[in-house]
Structure 1
Amino acid sequence: MQMRLETSRIWNGYGCHFGHSRMTINDRRAIQLSRNDFTPTCTYVQPDSSENFDKVFEFQNHDVLKQERGESEYDKAFKLSLENPPEFWAEVGHKLSWYKPWNKVLDDSDPPFTKWFVGGMLNACYNAVDRHVENGFGERLALIHDSPVTSSIRRITYSQLLEKVSLLAGVYSKIGVKKGDRVLIYMPMIPEAIISMLAAARLGAIHSVVFGGFAARELQTRIEHAEPTVIVAANCGVEPNKIVHYRSILKEALLHSAFKPSHLIIYERPEIKLDGDKYEHTFEDVITELDWEESLKTASHQECIPVEANEALYILYTSGTTDQPKGVVRPVGGHLATLAWTMHAVYGMGPHDNNVWWAASDMGWVVGHSYVCYAPLTAGLTSVMYEGKPDRTPDPGQYFRVIEEHGVNALLTAPTALRVIKRVDPNAVHGKKYCTKSLKTIFVAGESLDQSTKTWAERTFKVGVVNHWWQTETGHSITATFLGLGHSPNDPPGLSTGKSCPGFDLRILRDDGSEAAVGEEGRIAARLPLPPGTLSTLYKNPEKFKFLYFSTFPGYYDTMDAGYVFPDAKSSNGWIVVTGREDDVVSVAGHRLSAAAIEAVALQHPDVGDALVVGIPDCTKGEVPLCLYVPTPNAAQRVSHNLINMVRELVGPIAAFRLAFPVPALPKTRSGKIPRRSIARMARGLPLKIPSTIENPLVYEDIKAVLRKMRLCQIK
């Protein structure tokens, strides 16, 4: 049946619905308090307590009835991006260097497989490195690698980066890597990871970076799906109290992998001497191992290979990868153009101003791809790579030290990092040793931001903290505060994630596809076409791409996140408030992990008959996974302990998995599905509405009792 969509602009109206009863915006605000404070209980504030809510969320400066409307630079850009997308994005695209100009800016003849800058030929590496050297900026710092875990700092200019990248591309070419081939990269947070990415892009090859914290099973899954010609890896990673032996993890993954690459290139970290490791962990004879440094000594420089704008730059595997890989494919032209534009439009970083940018993320996650590598380098900025922790390498003053030592102007981080520093050093005793006057703004993304952390960070770092929202699939902001288009850090009301990014025509939709009123929570969806730089498909699975993102609301991209609009009387475009994820992803310290993948591990235990995993609030990591499992009739003891060890081994410590509890049964719909959202709401202490399709509603009482016993639920 074709779904009928009743659409109107998301900013029309001032009422809101919540459940079956009509509620005011103040009612809506009151319920939102508990979500953003990460408390497991839902503390309902009476509607006449809006003054207290406004004080916490700083809404008092956003009285929608008193402000006068005026069209800002942002409003003009946003309006043009929707009314005339080719004109808007052509101007953005002209900021790149092209071997051949595009024939057509937008081709939307086969939605949702939208194409941008059709026929245009360019190279990502050339735009990120070569052109800056050719334009006289070769001695500008491209990368600063700050590694407190190895007590080292490396500074690499654009000229030095070009030298290393072109030689490694020569190594790739010599062993047979060509345009369209895959290069899998398994490295820690070191410059060689970015060099490996750019060298692949230089040849028109497709890179796929695997986060260094993943275990062998996750690595194996990605190898089998991507089928890389070569794997590039470091010999190890460094954690505060241990060495992670990448070579042994890679050996185990390849031993069980159905696919074998022809070559491995191993970078032996000079700071870490692992005597005997190279000889203890050798690889199969069908795989040729090359040493990074030795290979570069005999390599020839490789020129850039032009590629069409809609060809793939990389594959990034996101949540749901275990057993069923979901590889986001990123098109090169639109991605580069949009990223370079956001550095100024969103983050206020001007070109050629010797600005220093720090995205405190890891490679293998979308922030690392977009804002450690491609965005700052394409914009000609200096990008800081930090290999350490916010608090334990060696103390919670490290963020402050990095800002002072390298003159950081803007920081992008996850709220978890700020919460960690706040928890262990609330008065910033360590931080006060350093001067952070170079810092202008802190940006946060990847998980929900709570008000107490925002207030603490602004007071401690003495700059504005700006919340924004985006996804692996989009590659850049869906909503943001646009500092380069006239916004200021103080503009967003409360914990809003900002306004719609130009090119995103966002709507808040009810389950039936009709459009929600302003203030009413619903599913956030983007009307097609999506702007440049978003995912073009899922690798090897275009049908899943169409079904997963575009079938729920025909004509829309389903973000699978929930939220509502807070009106702005100064503008026709309201502020977006994102309230939570609608699918089964658990966001641990900004790292998106699949609940289904953790469930699959739990179900491998012989004494586990059924299991579900949901994310619950955590004061440090934002979210952590909670597993409820049904033990078999003759289950042995210590099942929970065993599950924790299994997840750590098969998924990795990054999952922060430590909550696993037995329950008599799990709720199931008549079709056999487990309603995770209802359990997640129960664990968070939110009002529970049992779905009508549940076969045995009494199951919830047993689960509630278990959660109460574990002090994870305070529903009366």
Structure 2
Amino acid sequence: MSEPTLGCKMLDKQALASQANQDLHRVLHARSLAKPESFWAEAARAVHWDKPWDKVLDEDCAPLYSWFSGAQLNTCYNAVDRHVEQGRGMQVAIQYVSPVTDTEYGITYDELLAQVSRLAGYMHASGVKKGDRVIIYMPMIPETVYAMLACARLGAIHSVVFGGFAASELAARIEDAKPKLILSASCGIEPSGVVPYKPLLDAAITQSRHKVEQCIILNRAQYSAELVEGRDSDWQISVASAEAIACQTVAATDPLYVLYTSGTTGQPKGVVRDNGGHSVALSWSMKHIYDVGPGDTFWAASDVGWVVGHSYIVYAPLLVGATTVLFEGKPIGTPDPGIFWRTIEKYRVKSFFTAPTAIRAIKRDDPDGDFLRDVDLSCLKTLFLAGERCDPDTLHWAEERLKKPVIDHWWQTETGWPVAANLMGTAPVEVKAGSPALAVPGFQVEVVDELGEMVPTGQSGNVVIKLPLPPGALTTLWNNETRYLDSYLSMYPGFYLTGDAGYMDEEGYLYIMSRIDDIINVAGHRLSTGRFEEVLCQHEAVAEVAVIGVEDKLKGQLPLGLVVLKKGVTLSDEDLHRELIALVREHIGPVASFRLVSVIQKLPKTRSGKVLRGTMRKIADNQSYKIPATIEDPHTLDLVRNALTRMGYADALV
């Protein structure tokens, strides 16, 4: 027998390392479930506590579990003050990058402390106290981070509303949260131009039955807003003369923030996050998942209006003493599809987190990676993707262009941090395209059928998480415990319903294929829209795709695909149509009955990058629908309607 080659030996070592890391991951995961108290007590050492806990896990009010009951701390102290006290005040805490205003500057921990403590001092002098709610309606600027941290400093509960939300949507959140104060800016800036916020804010306050008596307005150079006398204060003048205030100790179980997510009833759901469990979970995740610690630079290219912005632009990087990049811009068009890569190079970003939608947009505009050729990405260790299911084609494109590990991971607004991920800081395992890897320690993920029975390996079902959820997950819905129980905990007693459908393979890798309501039934066959999209994205001409189920009298539903092409594609519509149908037939089979496909210029998405499949499905079936408040470009719904009309679905535009 001949000796194995050097290449074989290297592959053997990689396989052994991967298997060893899988074993380590499973050991950590098993310990977190078998002994959650000791597991999370150990993780809690990363956090400064003003008073230790009485119980790590309090099960007395199950299924409303709580973590670190009896403990006291302050999240702002952990994110800012303690780093200054430890002698690292001169380190950059926030690196602000705004290509839309051509502005870049760093803010040290010393400067961050000064800004946050003075803003908190002014808010305190204005009557804001522990437990009061404060709405923050602002763009991606440093003052937005100051506002969040100032609320945490006082023990006030912040609720960030994405800047530019319609007045009616903002009014609904004002009515539900009943804020003592609103912090806002005069405008936001999009690639299309300046978006005035102040008129929207004024209209929302007028519409709301809860009347807000105090607002602090930051006037930006691009748009100056008129202040309402007796209600509005000028940010710069007010904060400049305010006295700094120290951190207010709060209970670990006290709410840190309320973040509204869309609800099926049209009434937004206010996800409540606590202080203690949140700090512990995010600190743990930065070390073990993202491999980021003190002095490292971390960039989550999202918005503070979403959960990614809360967890991984603001709190998590600052909790561990890292530098966080605050980016006001887009992956393309501000000014070109190379802006992400140049920013990573310039600020030596170690770990980068964005949505698959952003990578697909870059791939569409720069399919060959021309904007990467002169960029040095030696600083970058890992690209993380989340927010929308990552199809294998997008993952492979990024791997080939970046020559870096590309890690898909899965979580939700409600969970606050990753449920399934590759532990890149502790036990990196094999990347399987289409899977966010293994369940993260603390999360016992199962796949069940409609009766709650576990389904066989490889079979699709509803993805659930066994209670208790780990620290950092939602504790309830604001002012609506009944809705929390009904929405998440009632369908499968003892489990949290994620609302996602998927399956697990023989190694325990999780595959999230779609939302539960995105499963389509074709002649009795339950098929995932995510699987169709995965196959269609394999075609070399396709940049991105959305598949929906449309009504059919014979088969119940049929899959319908809308595809966006890469720039420069010359393939005829007839050839593309034939090749896409053949691709689905090859990979899914004739059972898919896939014949409906059309090219579209742009897909309708939320500002966080989620494709609005539910709205498209209603348009196709001629059902009434409401334009989502989070939509990025309402005109895209007209594009969808026109494409559907050409295929015999939806009513034509008048």
Bin the TM-score by the shorter chain: 0.7 to 0.9
Q: Shift of the alpha carbon at 1:628?
A: 3.5
Return the letter of the residue paired with 2:303: D
Q: Which piece of structure 1 moves more, 454-463 or 390-399? A: 454-463
Q: Shift of the alpha carbon at 1:73?
A: 2.7
Q: Shift of the alpha carbon at 1:427?
A: 1.8
Q: Shift of the alpha carbon at 1:555?
A: 0.7
Residue 86 of structure 1 aligns with which residue?
Answer: 37
Residue 299 of structure 2 aligns with which residue?
Answer: 358
Candidates 347, 364, 370, aligned match of 1:429: 370
Residue 152 of structure 2 aligns to a residue whose secondary structure is helix
Q: Shift of the alpha carbon at 1:108?
A: 1.1
Is residue 325 of structure 1 aligned with residue 268 of structure 2?
yes
Could you tell me how far apart the structure 2 residues matched to 1:583 and 1:617 are?
A: 18
Is residue 623 of structure 1 aligned with residue 611 of structure 2?
yes
Would the aligned equivalents of 2:194 and 2:222 in 1 still touch at CA under 8 Å?
A: no
The equivalences for 1:275-294 within 5 A come to 277-279=224-226, 282-283=227-228, 288-294=231-237
Residue 297 of structure 1 aligns with which residue?
Answer: 240
Q: Which runs of 5+ in 2 are unaligned?
A: 1-10, 520-528, 531-558, 565-602, 604-608
Would the aligned equivalents of 1:359 and 1:384 in 2 still touch at CA under 8 Å?
A: yes
Is residue 547 of structure 1 aligned with residue 486 of structure 2?
yes
Could you tell me how far apart the structure 2 residues matched to 1:390 and 1:446 are?
A: 15
Candidates 578, 583, 606, aligned match of 2:512: 578
Q: Shift of the alpha carbon at 1:273?
A: 3.8
Is residue 534 of structure 1 aligned with residue 473 of structure 2?
yes
Q: Residues 565 and 652 (structure 1 numbering): CA distance in 2 closer, same or farther, change over 3 Å?
A: closer
Return the letter of the residue paired with 1:528: L
Q: Shift of the alpha carbon at 1:434?
A: 2.1
Return the letter of the residue paired with 2:112: L
Could you tell me how far apart the structure 2 residues matched to 1:419 and 1:317 are?
A: 27
Could you tell me how far apart the structure 1 residues matched to 2:168 and 2:265 are?
A: 8
Could you tell me how far apart the structure 2 residues matched to 1:367 and 1:267 are?
A: 24
Q: Shift of the alpha carbon at 1:400?
A: 1.0
Q: Residues 68 and 461 (structure 1 numbering): CA distance in 2 closer, same or farther, change over 3 Å?
A: closer
Candidates 505, 510, 529, aligned match of 1:566: 505
Candidates 115, 125, 129, aligned match of 1:178: 129
Residue 234 of structure 1 aligns with which residue?
Answer: 185
Could you tell me how far apart the structure 1 residues matched to 2:466 and 2:265 are?
A: 30
Q: Residues 629 and 465 (structure 1 numbering): CA distance in 2 closer, same or farther, change over 3 Å?
A: closer
Q: Residues 618 and 536 (structure 1 numbering): CA distance in 2 closer, same or farther, change over 3 Å?
A: farther
Candidates 102, 118, 138, aligned match of 2:53: 102
Residue 334 of structure 2 aligns with which residue?
Answer: 393
Return the letter of the residue paired with 2:233: L
Q: Residues 113 and 234 (structure 1 numbering): CA distance in 2 closer, same or farther, change over 3 Å?
A: same
Residue 97 of structure 1 aligns to a residue whose secondary structure is coil
Return the letter of the residue paired with 1:541: N
Return the letter of the residue paired with 1:647: I
Residue 600 of structure 1 aligns with which residue?
Answer: none
Would the aligned equivalents of 2:298 and 2:322 in 1 still touch at CA under 8 Å?
A: yes
Residue 408 of structure 2 aligns with which residue?
Answer: 467
Q: Shift of the alpha carbon at 1:69?
A: 7.9
Would the aligned equivalents of 2:219 and 2:225 in 1 still touch at CA under 8 Å?
A: no
Q: Shift of the alpha carbon at 1:483?
A: 1.1
- Corresponding pairs, count: 558
Q: Which runs of 5+ in 1 are unaligned?
A: 1-59, 569-573, 588-613, 633-638, 664-682, 684-704
Could you tell me how far apart the structure 2 residues matched to 1:69 and 1:431 are?
A: 34
Q: Shift of the alpha carbon at 1:617?
A: 6.3
Would the aligned equivalents of 1:492 and 1:575 in 2 still touch at CA under 8 Å?
A: no
Residue 545 of structure 2 aligns with which residue?
Answer: none
Residue 495 of structure 1 aligns with which residue?
Answer: 434
Return the letter of the residue paired with 1:362: D
Higher relative CO (Cα under 8 Å, sequence separation at least 6) belongs to 1
Q: Residues 68 and 207 (structure 1 numbering): CA distance in 2 closer, same or farther, change over 3 Å?
A: closer
Could you tell me how far apart the structure 2 residues matched to 1:662 and 1:339 are?
A: 42
Q: Residues 246 and 99 (structure 1 numbering): CA distance in 2 closer, same or farther, change over 3 Å?
A: same
Residue 263 of structure 2 aligns to a residue whose secondary structure is coil
Q: Residues 151 and 556 (structure 1 numbering): CA distance in 2 closer, same or farther, change over 3 Å?
A: same
Q: Residues 517 and 655 (structure 1 numbering): CA distance in 2 closer, same or farther, change over 3 Å?
A: farther
Residue 470 of structure 2 aligns to a residue whose secondary structure is coil
Would the aligned equivalents of 1:312 and 1:329 in 2 still touch at CA under 8 Å?
A: yes
Could you tell me how far apart the structure 1 residues matched to 2:495 and 2:621 are?
A: 41
Would the aligned equivalents of 1:328 and 1:537 in 2 still touch at CA under 8 Å?
A: yes
Q: Deviations over 1:690-713 (max 9, x none)?
A: xxxxxxxxxxxxxxx96843699x
Residue 8 of structure 1 aligns with which residue?
Answer: none
Residue 379 of structure 2 aligns with which residue?
Answer: 438
Q: Deviations over 1:599-640 (max 9, x none)?
A: xxxxxxxxxxxxxxx9976656562341545999xxxxxx99
Residue 402 of structure 1 aligns with which residue?
Answer: 343
Return the letter of the residue paired with 1:420: A
Q: Shift of the alpha carbon at 1:486?
A: 1.6
Residue 250 of structure 2 aligns with which residue?
Answer: 307
Is residue 653 of structure 1 aligned with residue 629 of structure 2?
no
Is residue 514 of structure 1 aligned with residue 490 of structure 2?
no
Could you tell me how far apart the structure 2 residues matched to 1:289 and 1:258 are?
A: 19
Is residue 217 of structure 1 aligned with residue 164 of structure 2?
no
Would the aligned equivalents of 2:186 and 2:198 in 1 still touch at CA under 8 Å?
A: yes
Would the aligned equivalents of 2:500 and 2:515 in 1 still touch at CA under 8 Å?
A: yes
Residue 310 of structure 2 aligns with which residue?
Answer: 369
- Residue identity (%): 43
Q: Shift of the alpha carbon at 1:494?
A: 2.2
Residue 420 of structure 2 aligns with which residue?
Answer: 479
Residue 225 of structure 2 aligns to a residue whose secondary structure is helix
Candidates 141, 147, 157, aligned match of 2:108: 157
Q: Deviations over 1:266-311 (max 9, x none)?
A: 0112xx243xx433xx54x6x5111111011221111001111111
Q: Shift of the alpha carbon at 1:567?
A: 1.6
Residue 449 of structure 1 aligns with which residue?
Answer: 390
Q: Residues 432 and 658 (structure 1 numbering): CA distance in 2 closer, same or farther, change over 3 Å?
A: same
Candidates 70, 75, 85, aligned match of 1:134: 85
Would the aligned equivalents of 1:506 and 1:527 in 2 still touch at CA under 8 Å?
A: yes
- TM-score under structure 2 normalisation? 0.80
Q: Deviations over 1:406-453 (max 9, x none)?
A: 111111000011111111111222232321111111000011111221
Residue 314 of structure 1 aligns to a residue whose secondary structure is strand
Return the letter of the residue paired with 1:575: Y
The equivalences for 1:558-707 within 5 A come to 558-568=497-507, 574-583=508-517, 619=564, 623-624=611-612, 625-626=615-616, 628=618, 647=627, 652-653=631-632, 657-659=636-638
Q: Residues 145 and 112 (structure 1 numbering): CA distance in 2 closer, same or farther, change over 3 Å?
A: same
Could you tell me how far apart the structure 2 residues matched to 1:68 and 1:312 are?
A: 40
Candidates 56, 62, 76, aligned match of 2:27: 76
Residue 338 of structure 1 aligns with which residue?
Answer: 281
Could you tell me how far apart the structure 1 residues matched to 2:166 and 2:445 are?
A: 37
Would the aligned equivalents of 2:136 and 2:183 in 1 still touch at CA under 8 Å?
A: yes
The equivalences for 1:261-280 within 5 A come to 261-269=212-220, 272-274=221-223, 277-279=224-226
Q: Residues 622 and 262 (structure 1 numbering): CA distance in 2 closer, same or farther, change over 3 Å?
A: closer
Q: Shift of the alpha carbon at 1:655?
A: 6.0
Could you tell me how far apart the structure 1 residues matched to 2:115 and 2:277 are?
A: 26
Return the letter of the residue paired with 2:341: F
Q: Shift of the alpha carbon at 1:90?
A: 0.2
Would the aligned equivalents of 1:237 and 1:245 in 2 still touch at CA under 8 Å?
A: yes
Q: Deviations over 1:346-393 (max 9, x none)?
A: 1111x23x2110000001100000000010000110000111111101
Q: Residues 143 and 429 (structure 1 numbering): CA distance in 2 closer, same or farther, change over 3 Å?
A: same
Could you tell me how far apart the structure 1 residues matched to 2:512 and 2:454 are?
A: 16
Candidates 194, 197, 203, aligned match of 2:148: 197
Could you tell me how far apart the structure 2 residues matched to 1:652 and 1:455 are?
A: 28
Q: Deviations over 1:514-561 (max 9, x none)?
A: 111111111111111110110000001001101110111011011111
Residue 595 of structure 2 aligns with which residue?
Answer: none
Could you tell me how far apart the structure 2 residues matched to 1:124 and 1:511 are?
A: 40
